[in-house]
Structure 1
């Protein structure tokens, strides 16, 4: 099932659902003919769209709104904060081409601080599916939640079949004692590649698809820290405010420390190009990620850890 098919079925089954867009119909091209007046295009007016969605939510509607992630989170930030967050209204924000998925676009269209700013708003929940299968498994619960939500929309197909989704819970793909990669969204694809490479080198490797970044699965983070020598946070987002920061907050809350290798964008927007070239240029291919982890292991961990890895 695709995102549009899921949204169509949901809206036809529930007249409370309103589909809105700020002239960004890529995900919902067929909805106007199906929903009629329950499809609203406000034009390139993200702030107006959020204000209108808040009004509809106050009238017992569930608006699912669409715009480019950069504009949905930054241009309309104050409206999301004031109209949705403070009022705790069930408007669902579908952010299109977040992170590296905005590959051919420049800095103005790159949403690589969206997780940070959205999770900072009280009541707003934040989610980042790994691919389209993950997306359609996550959305029904997110749409049914009474809280406002921001979703990093990802309709790429990876061929991986994900487990059923539970709000606030991560998906443990595999466990490992030497290193565990925590990731979300698009980078899940590259993490799978990196895991295979590291395993071929003799390492015991774990992988966790975080899925929900607010609320975050503290239990899986704490368990990973207790069972794995190195934690890698992997994200197509700025270092500040994303998963690395989330992990740090959880560890400090529980008065714990851990060896953590963050792989993220460090206060620098990426050079526009086709996605494979963006990943290669920024060092985010599965192969480059694995090489970086291997390098860190060699430099920072005790020889006994490396011996254990290669003897497994």
Structure 2
């Protein structure tokens, strides 16, 4: 089932669902003719769309709103924070082309700080499906919730079949004693490749799909940190405020620590190109991920000269 098919099915079954867009119909091209007045295009006015969605939510509706991720999170930030977050209204934010999925676009259209921005708003939940199968398994519960929600929409098709979704729970793909990769969204595909390459080198490798970023599965993070010699956070997001920061917060909250290798964009936007070229140029292909992990392990597992201990 596709995103549009799921949304159509949901809206037809529940007349309180309103579909809105700020002139971004890529995900919902067929819905105007199906929903009639329950499809609203406000034009290139993300702030107006969020304000109107909040008004509809106050009247018992569930608006599912669509816009490019960069504009939905930044141009309309104050409206999401003030009209939706503070009021705790069930407005559902469908974020189009987040992270590396904005491949051909420059910095103005790249949403690589969106997780940080949205999770900082009280009451707003944050989700990042790994692919289309994950997406359609997650959205029914996200849309049924009475909380506002931000979802990184990812309609890429993969062969992986995901487990049923529970908000606040990560999807543990495998457990490993040497390395555990924590990731979300698009890079789940590349993580799968990296895992197989690392296993071929004789490593015990875990992989966790952190599909729910707020609420986050603290126990999954703590367990991986305790079981694995190395935890890798992998994300198409700035280093600040994303999964690496979330992991740090969880470890500090529970007064523990771990050996963590972050793979993220460190205060720079990515070079626009077709997606395969973006991944390779920025160092996020499965092969490059595996090589970085192996290189890190080699560099940090060198024999150390120990200072003898003296008893008094």
> Normalising by structure 1, what TM-score?
0.97
Residue aligning to 1:226:
226
Residue-by-residue CA offset, 1:165-187 (whole Å, 9 max, x unaligned): 00100000011000000000000
**RMSD over aligned Cα atoms:** 0.9
Alignment of 1:5-154 (within 5 A): 5-154=5-154
Note the C-alpha offset of 1:300.
Answer: 1.2
Residue aligning to 1:209:
209
Moved more, 292-301 or 48-57: 292-301
Note the C-alpha offset of 1:301.
Answer: 3.2
Detail structure 1 runs of 4+ shifted over 4 Å in the superposition.
none
Residue aligning to 1:261:
261
Residue aligning to 1:156:
156
Residue-by-residue CA offset, 1:104-140 (whole Å, 9 max, x unaligned): 0000000000000000000000000000000000000
The SS at the match of 1:25 is coil
In structure 1, distance between residues paired with 2:3 and 2:153 = 9
The SS at the match of 2:53 is helix
The SS at the match of 1:186 is helix
In structure 1, distance between residues paired with 2:203 and 2:51 = 51
In structure 1, distance between residues paired with 2:301 and 2:201 = 16
Residue aligning to 2:277:
277
The SS at the match of 1:37 is helix
Distance 1:297 1:50, change over 3 A: same
Residue-by-residue CA offset, 1:82-106 (whole Å, 9 max, x unaligned): 0000000000000000000000000
Distance 1:164 1:223, change over 3 A: same
In structure 2, distance between residues paired with 1:64 and 1:25 = 13
Please say if 1:174 is aligned against 2:213.
no
Note the C-alpha offset of 1:302.
Answer: 6.2
In structure 2, distance between residues paired with 1:233 and 1:222 = 13
In structure 2, distance between residues paired with 1:127 and 1:93 = 10
Moved more, 295-304 or 156-165: 295-304
Distance 1:181 1:63, change over 3 A: same
Please say if 1:290 is aligned against 2:290.
yes
Q: Which runs of 5+ in 2 are unaligned?
A: 305-312
Residue-by-residue CA offset, 1:127-171 (whole Å, 9 max, x unaligned): 000000000000000001110000000000111000000010000
The SS at the match of 2:185 is coil
Q: Which runs of 5+ in 1 are unaligned?
A: 305-312
Distance 1:161 1:274, change over 3 A: same
Residue aligning to 1:307:
none
Residue aligning to 1:194:
194
In structure 2, distance between residues paired with 1:280 and 1:263 = 14
Distance 1:35 1:240, change over 3 A: same
Residue aligning to 2:310:
none
The SS at the match of 2:43 is coil
In structure 2, distance between residues paired with 1:21 and 1:279 = 29
Residue-by-residue CA offset, 1:270-308 (whole Å, 9 max, x unaligned): 11000000000000000000000000011113669xxxx
